[in-house]
Amino acid sequence: MGNERHRRVWPVGADQTITIRATSAQLAAWHAATRIHSSKPHLGAWIAMAADFYAARLQARLELALRMEREGKLK
């Protein structure tokens, strides 16, 4: 479980580990964004939150497209 100075940064049920390959420019940008977002930054938690946000956004767009298709608003 990810801890930062005895503060839990992962959800209780988190048990998956992934490896991310990034350029040094990407890594620097992610670290900068993490510091802007949080007073106690944790890069792994920030990347997980960003991925969750992106996945939710894609799901919402898909649902909107399907609803518009059902209503005949898409060609």
Structural domain includes residue 13: yes
Which DSSP category does 5 fall into? Answer: T
Distance CA 19, CA 40 (A): 22
- In total, how many domains does the chain have? 1
More confident residue, 12 or 56: 56
What's the Cα-to-Cα distance from 72 to each of 6, 40, 61, 63, 66, rounded to whole Å? 53, 48, 16, 14, 10
Task: Label residue 14 by pLDDT band (50, 70, 90).
Answer: confident
Structural domain includes residue 75: no
Distance CA 52, CA 34 (A): 15
| In the predicted structure, residue 7 carries a pLDDT above the cut 70 | no
Distance CA 30, CA 11 (A): 21
Q: What is the domain extent for residue 7?
A: 3-70
pLDDT of residue 73: 80
